[in-house]
Amino acid sequence: MTLERYSRQILFPGVGEAGQRKIRQATVGLLGLGALGSTLADLMTRSGVGRLVAVDRDIVEPSNLHRQTLYTQADADAGLPKAVAARKRLREINPDVDIECLSLDLGPDNALDVFEECDLILDGADGFETRYLLNDVAIHLGIPWIYGACVAARGMTATIIPGATPCLTCLFPEPPPPGSQETCETGGVIPPVATLVASLQATEALKLLVGDRPSLRRGLLSIELWPFRTVLIGESALPSPDCPACQGRKLRFLAGSAESRSARLCGRNVVQIVPREPLGRSLRELAPRLESLGRVRTMEGVLHLEIDGLTLTLFPDGRALVRGTDDPGRARGLYSRLFGS
Ligand SMILES: [Zn+2]
């Protein structure tokens, strides 16, 4: 490794040569290679981490390109898995870094294997439930993770150190019901909010990697870019003494007992998704929000949406049938993008 590549970063007193060596020795995990994940992977790779382990289950689609900065038109035309396209691009950016991009649907069965060697995990997930799984994984492994989320022109981030700061369950005891929150599919998103939130996450990651914990930003930061407003809450908050996850170590999402989106193949090219909780909104409320995405029909008390070559049939209790794929991960990914669960 030539240090010349990192000379401007080493000149910054917060990093220095000793810090750069620590960055070089680190393994960083990343969940999601979408909008946040693109910028996170790019910044970690350019910063010269030793190894990056990134996971994503989706393929590159044209509607990703305005904000997912790792990908090109050619990647979308070829329908490449994000993990494949990202690995190629990241290798071109910095061949010093050991890049491992896995095309898989992170779940309780594989999450520990994926992240067990990581020093910290960055959150670029697109659904709430995977974040609770990530929270459980970080508590189990005793490593920090950096929460990040964005939709429309809003973003949120928090640095979570199990035992030292509130964890995700301390902050929000339960994931929101499916469909109750906007997602990038239903509420849209502007690119700068994603790159901004990811940049904030990457900065905290660098502080952790060089071992400068006193400089970490504490609390949950909310940013609204349009119009501009920031709110920082819980700067001096400690873990909640009765948190079942970080204090009681009941890791429901890692144990699989809380997994809401049980998805299984039922018949040829049909996957059924059964959420743990009912929908947070009625089909009548959801229909207009889905109309910009594909053809929506509501009949006989169910909603049909044609999207990305798939037909999603949604029942009032939140159960869904996704026709046109035999891949439960793809169906779960679609459900998660639409309803945030
Ligand atoms: Zn907690």
For the chain, domains (ranges, CATH) are 3-255 (3.40.50.720), 262-339 (3.30.310.10)
Mean pLDDT value across residues 167-180: 90
pLDDT score recorded for residue 135 = 98
Q: How many whole angstroms from 254 Cα to the centroid of ligand 1? A: 14
Please, which residues bridge with residue 160 across strands? 145
In Å, what is the CA distance from 331 to each residue of 58, 307, 313?
A: 10, 11, 11
pLDDT score recorded for residue 276 = 74
Residues with CB under 5 A from ligand 1 (ion): 167, 169-170, 243, 245-246
Q: Which residue has the tokens 């220095």?
A: 16
Q: How far apart are CA 294 and CA 186, in angstroms?
A: 11
In Å, what is the CA distance from 173 to each residue of 22, 164, 170, 213?
A: 34, 17, 6, 26
- For residue range 13-51, what is the model confidence (pLDDT) as tens digits? 999 999 999 999 999 999 999 999 999 999 999 999 999
**Mean pLDDT, rounded, of the chain:** 92
The encoded tokens of residue 153 equal: 């022109």
Lowest mean pLDDT among 7-16, 97-106, 150-159: 97-106
Active site residue 150: no
- For residue range 213-265, what is the model confidence (pLDDT) as tens digits? 999 999 999 999 999 999 999 999 999 999 999 999 999 999 986 655 567 76
pLDDT band (50, 70, 90) for residue 267: low
Residue 272 pLDDT > 90, yes or no?
no
Q: How many whole angstroms from 215 Cα to the centroid of ligand 1? A: 22
Q: How many whole angstroms from 208 Cα to the centroid of ligand 1? A: 20
DSSP H or E stretch at residue 115: helix 111-115
Residue 172 pLDDT > 80, yes or no?
yes
Q: How many whole angstroms from 247 Cα to the centroid of ligand 1? A: 6
Q: How many whole angstroms from 160 Cα to the centroid of ligand 1? A: 9
Q: Which of 167, 170, 184, 246 is catalytic?
A: 184
pLDDT score recorded for residue 21 = 97
Q: How far apart are CA 73 and CA 76, in angstroms?
A: 5
Q: How far apart are CA 296 and CA 299, in angstroms?
A: 10
Specify whether the CB–CB gap between 71 and 88 falls below 8 A.
no
Residue 3 pLDDT > 90, yes or no?
no
Specify whether the CB–CB gap between 83 and 33 falls below 8 A.
yes
Count of other CB atoms within 10 angstroms of residue 235:
10
Mean pLDDT value across residues 56-66: 89
pLDDT score recorded for residue 322 = 92
Q: How far apart are CA 159 and CA 180, in angstroms?
A: 25
Q: What is the DSSP code string of 243-256?
A: -TTTTT---HHHHT
pLDDT score recorded for residue 61 = 86
